[in-house]
């Protein structure tokens, strides 16, 4: 994706007595770095004390041996953040810690809640106000959940040590939206998914214990083998007695379809299916649906590569490279002028004129969100001498904002919200444009077609969307969602 939406965050947890759990958490977060690049953090428990280290930046910027060495313990959780609720700042880095019970607890959250105003009302908060006496040192929905859990802790610690579990059982049914949590207290590692399972969470086994991770690819890097997915509506608890499970809500699986399209690493498995192979099948389906005469099929790297490979294989048109990606450039933060914004695109992608000149190109990407970067890429290909540019997208038009954990901005910012495919073609300056049909996309995953959330493509919101933009609801008065005027969600919450 040349201009991706904000990723879902990455969470990781490990219970491994006798092992360097901080180093294992570091490796797990490194494997999940693609899911969030704003901040990183690790919380470790040694059975008596919970220590949290977090900071802004990439995992390798936040942690080194000097910071990892003192983090001694037998269980840990980690978090990579991309903000969906709450601004990007140090105070909003995770894991979130609360000092209650014997040692307190820490929480890492992937997702976004849709009822933050209702939940803040339950704590006696006013929108736009921080109340230090409530412990809200952060303005995220994650901190709000942590505070709700802390309020449900018993006045005196229980003899069986299940304070965190029981508090979660009281809080989880009150949460709406998308969430995969990893939590720890002094002795337990806990993983939770919302009842729809919008965001993935998997359970793995290592010789010394257990691992929880947003993606199965993160299990590989720590030498864990995949056991199973944490089920929607399930809470998994891991401690010295082993592993136990509790379903706090009936499961209605609706994994975000964009985990297959873009978010997850290609070496991850979702619903037991290879993401890489699914993306190649998307390209094959796209070639069958929207064939065109051309000399070369090329991807927008890196995200368009598998689909471009599939398109080339199914069409018989040679696959080639037309763009080089600078692997060391992440998000472009400083773009104050139009001229520098263009330079920002070239920092990330640069054309190969000798492969492009005089050729009819089929350019494949996984999606188009706002369209500005895609338009600049097309212009670069034209300047490099492309005879024709035919754009193919391995997902349907992205028309609706996500409220469950993907930061896409408002609907008015989405290119396909109000434009036809023909109008988008003209805006991008391409000779032809085609998007993969939804039924073909779902078929390419190899999974049950009813097991996905497709709200961003169809407007079919499984959980009612808020009447106000809650992204910064805990920092400032919420703003009306003008672009949803006259729109009613097409399905009710289950």
Residues annotated as catalytic are: 9
CB-based burial, 444-476: b 16+ in 10 Å, e otherwise: bbebeeebbbbbbbebebbbbbbeebbbbbbbe
Cα 316 to Cα 277: distance, rounded to the nearest angstrom: 18
Rounded (5°) CA angle 393-399-405: 100
On whether the CB atoms of residues 474 and 144 are closer than 8 A, the answer is yes
- Given a contact cutoff of 8 angstroms between Cβ atoms, the answer to whether 266 and 34 are in contact is no
Phi/psi at 210 (nearest 5 deg)?
A: -135, 160
CB atoms inside a 10 Å sphere around CB 208: 14
The backbone torsions φ and ψ at residue 110, rounded to the nearest 5 degrees and listed phi first, read -115, 115
Please enumerate in sequence order all residues whose Cβ is within 8 A of that of 270, keeping only pairs 6 or more positions apart, or say none: 200, 255, 259, 260, 264, 445, 447
Taking the alpha carbons at both ends of the chain, their separation in whole angstroms is: 32
Do the beta carbons of residue 274 and residue 281 sit within 8 Å? no
Non-local CB neighbours of 176 within 8 Å, separated by 6+ positions: 113, 114, 115, 118, 463, 464, 493
Cβ 322 vs Cβ 380: under 8 Å:
no
Tell me: cis bond preceding 299? Omega within 30 of 0 counts: no
Give the residue among 281, 276, 278 at the shortest CA–CA distance from 311: 281
């Amino acid at each position: 994706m040349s201009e991706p939406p904000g990723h879902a965050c990455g969470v990781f947890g490990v219970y491994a007595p006798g092992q360097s759990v901080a180093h294992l958490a570091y490796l797990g977060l490194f494997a999940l770095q693609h899911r969030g690049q704003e901040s990183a953090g690790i919380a470790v428990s040694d059975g008596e004390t919970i220590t949290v280290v977090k900071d802004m930046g990439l995992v390798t910027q936040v942690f080194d041996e000097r910071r990892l060495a003192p983090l001694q313990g037998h269980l840990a959780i980690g978090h990579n953040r991309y903000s969906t609720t709450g601004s990007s700042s140090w105070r909003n880095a995770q894991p979130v810690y609360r000092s209650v019970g014997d040692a307190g607890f820490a929480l890492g959250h992937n997702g976004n809640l849709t009822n933050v105003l209702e939940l803040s009302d339950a704590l006696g908060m006013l929108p736009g106000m921080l109340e230090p006496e409530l412990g809200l040192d952060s303005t995220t929905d994650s901190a709000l959940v942590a505070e709700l859990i802390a309020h449900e802790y018993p006045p005196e610690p229980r003899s069986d040590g299940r304070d965190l579990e029981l508090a979660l059982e009281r809080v989880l049914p009150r949460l709406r939206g998308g969430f995969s949590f990893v939590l720890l207290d002094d002795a337990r590692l806990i993983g939770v998914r919302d009842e729809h399972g919008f965001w993935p969470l998997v359970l793995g086994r290592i010789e010394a214990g257990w691992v929880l991770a947003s993606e199965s690819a993160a299990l590989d890097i720590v030498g864990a083998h995949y056991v199973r997915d944490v089920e929607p509506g399930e809470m998994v608890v891991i401690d010295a007695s082993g592993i136990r499970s509790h379903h706090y809500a009936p499961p209605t699986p609706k994994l975000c379809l964009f985990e297959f399209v873009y978010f997850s690493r290609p070496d991850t498995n979702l619903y037991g299916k290879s993401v890489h192979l699914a993306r190649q099948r998307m390209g094959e389906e796209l070639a069958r649906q929207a064939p065109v005469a051309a000399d070369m099929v090329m991807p927008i790297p890196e995200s368009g590569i598998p689909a471009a490979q599939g398109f080339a294989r199914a069409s018989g048109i040679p696959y080639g490279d037309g763009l080089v990606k600078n692997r060391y450039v992440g998000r472009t933060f400083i773009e104050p002028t139009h001229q520098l914004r263009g330079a920002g695109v070239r920092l990330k992608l640069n054309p190969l004129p000798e492969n492009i000149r005089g050729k009819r190109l089929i350019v494949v990407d996984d999606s188009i969100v706002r369209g500005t970067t895609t338009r600049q890429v097309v212009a670069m290909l034209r300047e490099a001498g492309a005879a024709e540019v035919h754009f193919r997208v391995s997902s349907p038009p992205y028309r609706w904002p996500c409220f469950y954990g993907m930061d896409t901005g408002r609907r008015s910012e989405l290119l396909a919200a109000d434009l036809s495919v023909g109008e988008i073609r003209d805006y991008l300056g391409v000779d032809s444009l085609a998007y993969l049909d939804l039924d073909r996309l779902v078929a390419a995953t190899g999974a049950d077609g009813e097991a996905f959330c497709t709200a961003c493509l169809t407007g079919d919101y499984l959980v009612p969307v808020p009447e106000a933009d809650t992204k910064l609801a805990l920092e400032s008065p919420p703003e009306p969602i003008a672009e949803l005027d006259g729109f009613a969600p097409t399905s009710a919450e289950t």
